[in-house]
A and B are shown apart, each in its own frame.
Chain A
Amino acid sequence: MQGLEVDFSGKVIVVTGGSRGIGKAIVDSFSESGGKVYILDLDERSAEQTVGDFVSRGREVSFFPLDVSDNAMVREVMGKILVEAGHVDVLVNDAGVTLPTPFAECTEKDWDFVVGINLKGTFNTSNFIFPHMMERRYGKIVNIASIAGKLGGGFRGTAIYAASKAGVIGLTKGMAREGGPYGINVNAICPGVIKTAMGNSIPEEQKKLIIQGTPLRRYGEPYEIGNVVAFLCSDLASHITGEIMDVDGGIVRD
């Protein structure tokens, strides 16, 4: 019995929304542990900067532009990755947008936009790679949901955001149930409030209330999500699937 290590040498990881915030921290965790990481993101400028930063530190990270809500584009781009890399071991669905508009003021366009990226985007990528993972009898999928999916929103996202994340939770469990017999682990993480552009945009008075309701009395750091994602995708967590893991400083406790 030696020390326990999370190692992704020889593994290929796809991270949607990996150019900044939580996604970037996730890319950091995988690439630091030897993984070859593909960032799929709409924000080309951030992505190029992020890739440059990682490459200069000796990491194997590259980028393809992608709108995850566009099924045809997802299939084309992920198809390219499969050809280039030969296989995909891990998929992290992190691409996501929030919407602070009060429900009564939301429109159909808002619904299509948020659900299109957060939920349909997760479907698009996962649905593409699933047959490949089933054939190899190996795959790890982690979906970044949110405690909003359990609480109905209330921090930076409102009802539509909550619905999209609750959908991600349901999709996670279904994929776990169906993929399990083929050796695929599918889990979700529900971050609480994290120090990213999204989290930091919460007004000060609301921040005080949130901190009061957080046992650890602080927001989370992106790397604290990155660490958990990497662990869940490692062989150390091979018996965990269909699990919805809150990484929220203790807010939800469900």
Chain B
Amino acid sequence: MKLDLSGKVAVITGGARGIGKAIALSMAGCGANLAILEMNVEGANQTASEAKQLGVEARVYKADVSNLQQVKEIVTDIKDIFGKIDILVNNAGIVSPKPFLETDEKEWDLILGVNLKGIYNTCFSVLPHMIEQKYGKIVNIASIAGKTGGGFFGNTIYGTSKAGVIALTKGIAREAGPFGINANAICPGPIETQMLADCPEETRQRILSGVPLRKFGHPQDIANVAVFLASDLASHMTGEITDVDGGIMRDN
């Protein structure tokens, strides 16, 4: 059973590194053409160049997803150049570890602006097109922090932004379902990244003791699920929040 995205056009936010890069390259490997929205243009260009070696088209757009006007213009350009948009992966996100009382309004605005409003901006810009073609797959990268209120590497504000992503996903699924659009979210658990590697061993072990699979995830674990959800194999799934966390949450 091949995960096949041949001929599809995927818009991905945050494709320069980590999970976003893994998603971009996995989708490219499955045949999708890519439009990558990123602040880190150098990183995104590297991703795009690797994607092109897999035989697909890939373009990079310098973008601050929290800026609606900018996102609208970019989406219009993508439609003009690629002809259509089939898949939207909202992966761009920033994290903050500060305890609640050490945060400030600026931090709230920044984190919510990128993590939640950024997704509103892209979905709002892309959805009318998907509705017109009666086809679309939206995959939002949330976090188990959105269910626990932070506590792993993200703080309360981070958790709040991701809880918002979860609700936004369900609302879009509900409203756009009748038009043939699937919208789902992935909640990654702790993923092996530089930040996690820099943690004291004590902390790593503490977290691992709560993970049934006794291991951290890898960006590819998230990418595999993102590609699956963006494919026609998941055609009857929508409004679903899938934890990819080694078994930490075990919620309904």
Contacts and interface: CB of A to CB of B under 8 A. Distances in A.
A239 B246 contact: yes
Contacts of A29: 1
A148 B241 CA distance: 18
B30 A245 contact: no
Contacts of A215: 173-178, 238-239
B212 A220 contact: no
Residue from A185, A221, A228, A239 whose CB has the most chain B CB atoms within 10 Å: A239
B217 A216 contact: no
Given A169-B252, A227-B1, A217 B178 contact: yes
Contacts of B50: 1
B2 A3 contact: yes
Instruction: Name the interface size band of chain B.
Output: 35 or more
Contacts of A2: 29, 54
B79 interface: no
A90 to B, nearest CB: 14
Nearest to A236: B224
Interface string B1-32: 11110000000000000000000011011110
A241 B244 CA distance: 8
Contacts of A254: 241, 252
Contact of A241 (B28, B174, B247): B247
B41 interface: no
B3 A238 contact: no
A241 B212 contact: yes
Interface string B182-198: 10000001000000000
Contacts of B180: 216
B2 A4 contact: yes
Nearest to A194: B236
Interface string A1-29: 11111110000000000000000000001
Contact of A4 (B29, B175, B242, B247): B29
Given A4-B2, A253-B170, 20 more contacts: A3-B2, A3-B30, A4-B224, A29-B1, A179-B212, A181-B213, A215-B177, A216-B180, A220-B236, A228-B234, A231-B233, A238-B221, A239-B213, A239-B217, A240-B242, A243-B243, A244-B251, A245-B237, A246-B240, A250-B177
10 contacts: A3-B31, A4-B224, A150-B252, A185-B213, A215-B173, A217-B178, A228-B236, A231-B234, A243-B250, A249-B236
Interface of A: 1-7, 29, 32-33, 150, 169, 173, 176-181, 183, 185, 192, 214-217, 220-221, 224-225, 227-228, 230-231, 236-250, 252-254
